[in-house]
């Protein structure tokens, strides 16, 4: 199970492109990259998930932790490019009501 994470910065916005599966084996890597990005006041963190086709409960927990961190530090978290299968997980768990999800592609998310 592989996870690739690419980071792009543009002033106060950080775009995190995530590819692969987010599960118990790869979630720690995502946590280590994502959480520090949410700890800067005023920063917008956009996580692009178009190339993620599987997320388990551990992965969902990473996004909950990132959202809490963003609220605590005055930053902003948004998810983009979510596939229908992954989007369904956010809908079923109700996370779509607390985390901003933009279903548009990467360029439109900026």
Domain presence at residue 97: no
Q: In whole angstroms, give the CA distance from residue 60 to residue 90.
A: 8
**Residue 33: which domain range?**
6-92
User: H-type helices in 1-110, by residue range?
Assistant: 27-37, 57-73, 84-93, 106-109
Report residue 56 as tokens: 């388990």
Domain presence at residue 110: no
Domain presence at residue 67: yes
> What is the domain-level CATH number for residue 20?
3.30.750.24
Residue-by-residue pLDDT tens, the chain, 110 positions: 689 999 999 888 999 999 999 999 999 999 999 999 999 999 999 999 999 999 999 999 999 999 999 999 999 999 999 999 999 999 999 999 999 999 765 444 44
What total of structural domains would you count in the chain? Answer: 1
What phi and psi values does residue 94 have, to the nearest 5 degrees? 80, 5
């Amino acid at each position: 199970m592989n996870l690739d994470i690419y980071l792009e910065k543009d002033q106060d916005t950080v775009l995190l492109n995530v590819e692969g599966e987010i599960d118990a084996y790869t979630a720690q890597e995502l946590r280590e990259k994502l959480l520090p990005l949410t700890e800067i006041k005023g920063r917008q963190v956009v996580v692009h998930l178009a190339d993620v086709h599987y997320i388990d409960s551990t992965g969902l927990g990473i996004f909950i932790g990132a959202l809490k961190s963003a609220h605590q530090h005055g930053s902003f978290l948004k998810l983009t490019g979510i596939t229908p299968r992954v989007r369904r997980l956010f809908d079923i768990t109700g996370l779509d009501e607390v985390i901003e999800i933009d279903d548009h592609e990467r360029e439109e998310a900026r």
